[in-house]
Amino acid sequence: MSTNLYWRPKDRKGKLLGKDSKLKWILEKSNSNTGYFYESDIPYFRGLADADVSGAQDVIDAIEKHGSIEIFEE
């Protein structure tokens, strides 16, 4: 069964991070596939964005706008 990754500021409806499963696989491998991400995580996601991982720039933009976000599967 396939699931998608979404992000959301606390207590809000989630936004899809894209259909590409590469970001999901990378986050699962790092043992942090879901949970909260903060401004201190931006350098990690910048590296993923530089490697053309779909959804990474969306995560950066969301963290910069909201300060922290939750990434979750659905």
pTM of the model: 0.82
Q: Please identify every stretch of the chain with a pLDDT value under 70, giving residue numbers as ranges.
A: 1, 11, 19-20, 31-34
Q: What is the pLDDT of residue 32?
A: 66
Q: What is the pLDDT of residue 7?
A: 86
Residue of 63, 59, 64, 65 lying closest to 24 (CA atoms): 59
Q: Is 45 helix (H, G, I), strand (E, B) or coil?
A: helix
Q: What is the pLDDT of residue 33?
A: 62
Report the sign of the C-alpha dihedral through residues 13, 6, 4, 16, in that order: positive
- Whether the CB-CB separation of 37 and 66 falls below 8 Å is answered with no
Q: What is the pLDDT of residue 25?
A: 85
Of the chain, the percentage scoring pLDDT greater than 90 comes to 46
